[in-house]
Amino acid sequence: GENVEQHPSTLSVQEGDSAVIKCTYSDSASNYFPWYKQELGKRPQLIIDIRSNVGEKKDQRIAVTLNKTAKHFSLHITETQPEDSAVYFCAGRSFQKLVFGTGTRLLVSP
Amino acid sequence: DVKVTQSSRYLVKRTGEKVFLECVQDMDHENMFWYRQDPGLGLRLIYFSYDVKMKEKGDIPEGYSVSREKKERFSLILESASTNQTSMYLCASSGQNTGELFFGEGSRLTVL
């Protein structure tokens, strides 16, 4: 089955810096890769996703890149703000199952 | 606005008790999921269902069972709760042709 690994587990940046979170997956049949943001005490919410027929997708300050050959995908956040502080989860989907990474705690300091 | 509602936010149970966690969604979604969330381990899939009365094991089904008698409701059952089942349980749903999961607020279960 699918296995998703996520790094780093914690990431501290200064406001305005960029942040990058990386994930690798094992199942070459996986075709959908979402990213979820979970603020403290709240439910995870989808922030961006990418399908396997696309290499990059952007939405304002966030972008996701996918390298199918290497089986890795990354979340890029530019011009970070304190409200970006949260836990971010990557995931990969294979046969209706969404498998999550272990999460990255991002702390953006003013 | 999609709404996924979990019946209990906080529960405290004793070892050996039977525990029911209920989840209801109001968007006519075909797929429903139960995850548990533990620090450092992320979200791990316990069971999922893609249709009424259908269920599939996730990655950590041991010690759990599920029930989906109606499309909008997906229940997680701990037949005999154990201390290692102390965790945050998250229910989620998604449509047939969309990938986005909509999560409930979670049920924090403590087993003493």
pLDDT digits (tens, 9 = 90+) for A19-68: 999 999 999 889 899 999 999 999 999 999 999 888 999 999 999 999 99
Nearest to B14 by CA among B60, B88, B63, B78: B78
Nearest to B34 by CA among B78, B1, B3: B78
Is B100 close to A46, i.e. CB distance below 8 A? Answer: yes
Cα Rg of chain B, angstroms: 13
Is A34 close to B99, i.e. CB distance below 8 A? Answer: yes
pLDDT band per the 50, 70, 90 thresholds, residue B95: confident
pLDDT band per the 50, 70, 90 thresholds, residue A81: very high
List, for residues A92-109, the tens digit of each pLDDT value. 987 778 899 999 999 999
Q: Which of B43, B88, B103 to mutate to test the interface with A (most CBs of A within 10 A)?
A: B43
Which stretches within B3-70 are classed as H helix? none
Q: B101 to chain A: which residues are within 8 Å by CB? A: 34, 36, 44, 46, 98
Q: B90 to chain A: which residues are within 8 Å by CB? A: 43-44
Would you call B1 an interface residue with chain A, using a CB distance cutoff of 8 Å? no
Q: B35 to chain A: which residues are within 8 Å by CB? A: 100
Q: Which of A96, A104, A105 to mutate to test the interface with B (most CBs of B within 10 A)?
A: A96
pLDDT band per the 50, 70, 90 thresholds, residue B63: very high
- As a whole-number percent, the residues of chain A with pLDDT over 90 amount to 83
Q: What is the mean pLDDT of residues B77-90?
A: 97
Specify whether the CB–CB gap between B34 and B46 falls below 8 A.
yes
Give the nearest chain B residue to A48 (CA atoms). B100
